[in-house]
Chain A
Amino acid sequence: EVQLVESGGGLVQPGGSLRLSCAASGFTFSTYWMSWVRQAPGKGLEWVANIKQDGSEKKYVDSVKGRFTISRDNAKNSLFLQMNSLRADDTAVYYCAKVDHLWTGQNWFNPWGQGTLVTVSS
């Protein structure tokens, strides 16, 4: 069974840093793109970042560029999100997700982890 388990969330002051982790199991982690998606309290879903299988390609939503860094350790089946210069509007549940795709290019998030809550507040 494919499983994704996030950790590392918590309360942090504005301007602070936090590192999220996602432990993957049940599939060959090194052969899939992976993503982070977030959801602010009571709001919709927002894609945050993607990373290619070997880590050579990374993409970010504009609002986190220069502040967040996505990375992975294929030997440890783990995905990470380093979040610096955190702001109140970064407060959200952060989900990691495996990216499935067709050979024709269509791709989607499946499955999702249970999420970890990040609260940015003084």
Chain B
Amino acid sequence: DIQMTQSPSSLSASVGDRVTITCRAGHYISNYLNWYQQQPGRAPKLLIYAASSLQSGVPSRFSGSGSGTDFTLTISGLQPEDFATYYCQQSYIPPLTFGGGTKVEIK
């Protein structure tokens, strides 16, 4: 199985901050990497697919980059509604696996 490691597991930030979350795959996965946002009590929501493609309707302050084994999700200008948990997920080889999540909290 491909292990996905996210860092940090949590962070505190202020509205307007630039936030970067990293995801490392334990095996080469090309750009088969997706990012999801989950707000408390809600279902996950797709933000970024294929490492860097912004899902329709998602604000442009979200961006993704990377290929191979190292990936990044960046939020440029954190907004109040962005305080949530973020997960990366690889779709290169089954079983499809998720990172452990990064909780973004208000400083």
Which A residues lie at the B interface, using CB under 8 A? 35, 44-47, 50, 59, 61-62, 95, 100, 102, 105-115
**A113: B residues at CB distance < 8 A:** 43
**B46: A residues at CB distance < 8 A:** 108-111
Contact in complex: B87, A108 (CB < 8 Å): no
- Hey, what's the 0/1 contact readout for B10-46 against A, CB within 8 Å counting as 1? 0000000000000000000001101010100001111
The residue that A45 contacts in the complex, of B44, B55, B94, with Cβ under 8 A, is B44
**A46: B residues at CB distance < 8 A:** 98
Give the size category of B's interface with A: 20 to 34
For A104, the closest partner residue in chain B by CB is B50
Report how far A56 CA is from B89 CA in the complex, Å: 25
Contact in complex: A50, B94 (CB < 8 Å): yes
Contact in complex: A114, B43 (CB < 8 Å): yes
Contact in complex: B87, A44 (CB < 8 Å): yes
Report how far A2 CA is from B45 CA in the complex, Å: 13
Contact in complex: A106, B32 (CB < 8 Å): yes
Contact in complex: A100, B49 (CB < 8 Å): yes
Report how far A95 CA is from B89 CA in the complex, Å: 15
Report how far A113 CA is from B36 CA in the complex, Å: 14
Q: In residues 74-107 of chain B, which contact A (Cβ within 8 Å)?
A: 87, 89, 91, 94-101
Also in contact, A45 and B89, with CB within 8 A (given A106-B49, A115-B43): yes
Contact in complex: B55, A59 (CB < 8 Å): no
CB distance from B3 to the nearest CB of A (A): 12
CB distance from A48 to the nearest CB of B (A): 9
Contact in complex: B49, A112 (CB < 8 Å): no
3 closest cross-chain pairs (CB), A and B? A47-B96, A112-B43, A110-B46
**B97: A residues at CB distance < 8 A:** 47
